Amino acid sequence: MRFLTYLWIAFGGALGSVGRAWLALVVARLTGPQFPWGTILINIQGSFIIGLFGALTAADGPYPAPADIRAFVMVGICGGFTTFSAFSLQTLELARDGRPLQAAGNVALSVVLCLLAVWLGYTAATLGRRA
């Protein structure tokens, strides 16, 4: 990778991280801190965005994009925005706090909904190419 690519990734990561912090705070204020709804929402959105953008901008996609732009969005923004490490820690804390059903619910919701979101994003991006 070129040095400029790393700068694009760093800039995207900063934007994604700030977006994650803001959205997590907003959701926690709305739903309370008892369950990590913000993290689940963030991971679903990030999964949708990476699926949509990845399919739209692939070399064989309808809007092929340069590698730096793809790295900026997919590695930088999505990488800074999505929160798998936070998800893992929150799941562990739920389990250690004696709430194994909530821990399992966090895992099930996050995995299933994020896989669904990435599929929806990819499908949305490729619908026009099937006709």
Q: Give which of 20, 12, 11 is closest to 84, Cα–Cα.
A: 20
Mark residue 82 as left, alpha or beta (left: phi above 0; alpha: psi -120 to 50; beta: remaining).
beta
How confident is the model at residue 120, as a pLDDT? 96
Residue 101: how many CB atoms within 10 A of its CB?
Answer: 9
How many domains in the chain? 1
How confident is the model at residue 29, as a pLDDT? 97
Query: pTM to 2 decimals?
Result: 0.84
Residue 79 belongs to a domain: yes
| 102-114 tens-digit pLDDT | 999 999 999 999 9
Residue 130 belongs to a domain: no
State the virtual CA torsion across 103, 109, 112, 118 in degrees, nearest 10: -120
Task: Give the range of the structural domain holding residue 83, as residue numbers without chain letter.
Answer: 3-125
How confident is the model at residue 131, as a pLDDT? 58
Q: Band of the pLDDT at 86, cuts 50, 70, 90?
A: confident
Give backbone dihedrals phi and psi of 33, rounded to 5 degrees, phi first: -90, 5
**DSSP state string for the chain:** --HHHHHHHHHHHHHHHHHHHHHHHHHHHHH-TTS-HHHHHHHHHHHHHHHHHHHHTSTTSSS---HHHHIIIIIIIHHHH--HHHHHHHHHHHHHTT-HHHHHHHHHHHHHHHHHHHHHHHHHHHHHHH-
| 13-30 tens-digit pLDDT | 999 999 999 999 999 999
Residue 131 belongs to a domain: no
Residue 30 belongs to a domain: yes
* Cα distance between the two ends of the chain: 36
Residue 72 belongs to a domain: yes
| 116-126 tens-digit pLDDT | 999 999 999 99
Residue 100 belongs to a domain: yes
pLDDT above 90: residue 85:
no
